[in-house]
Amino acid sequence: MEKIDTNTTSPVDDRGMARLLGSDTWTRCAPLLTDDGAQCYELSHILSDTMPSSPFAQELKVAASPTTGIPGTRHVGNKEMLTGDFTQQGTHLDALGHFGVLPEMWAGLEPLPLANATYHGGLTQAEVKPAPEKRLVRLGVENVPPIFTTAILLDAEREFGAGAPLSAGFSIDAEHIETMLRAQGLAQRGILAGDVVYIHTGWGKFWADPVAENSDYYRKGPGLGFSGAEYLASKNVVLVGLDNPFTDPVNGGQLSGLASPPADMPAGLPFGTHHFNLVKAGVLQMQNMRLLELAQDRVWISCTVILPLRLEGCSGSPVRPISIGKPSRQLADD
What dihedral do alpha carbons 70, 75, 81, 86 form, nearest 10°?
A: -130
Strands (E), the chain: 39-42, 61-64, 68-69, 76-77, 80-83, 92-94, 147-155, 171-172, 196-200, 223-224, 239-242, 284-287, 301-306, 316-318, 322-325
Per residue in 159-172, pLDDT (tens digit) is 999 999 999 999 99
Query: Under a CB-based contact definition with an 8 Å cutoff, are residues 165 and 201 in contact?
Result: yes
**215 pLDDT above the threshold of 70:** yes
- Parallel, antiparallel or unpaired: strands 223-224 and 171-172: parallel
Which candidate, 224, 280, 220, places its Cα nearest to that of 247?
224
Give the three-class secondary structure for 81.
strand
Question: Whole-angstrom distance between the N-terminal and C-terminal Cα of the chain?
Answer: 48
Give the three-class secondary structure for 41.
strand
Q: Which residue(s) pair with 40 in the sheet?
A: 324
Name the amino acid, one letter, at 51: M
Could you count the other beta carbons within 10 Å of the beta carbon of residue 125? 18
Give, for 29, the enclosing helix (H) or strand (E).
helix 23-34
Query: Under a CB-based contact definition with an 8 Å cutoff, are residues 283 and 235 in contact?
Result: no
**Whole-prediction pTM value?**
0.94
Query: Under a CB-based contact definition with an 8 Å cutoff, are residues 173 and 227 in contact?
Result: yes
Q: Mean pLDDT lowest for which of 38-47, 105-114, 141-150? A: 105-114
Which CATH number is 16-47+87-325 given?
3.50.30.50
Give the three-class secondary structure for 230.
helix
Counting Cα atoms < 13 Å in the Cβ hemisphere of 218 gives 18
**86 pLDDT above the threshold of 90:** no
Per residue in 36-73, pLDDT (tens digit) is 999 999 999 999 999 999 999 999 999 999 999 999 99
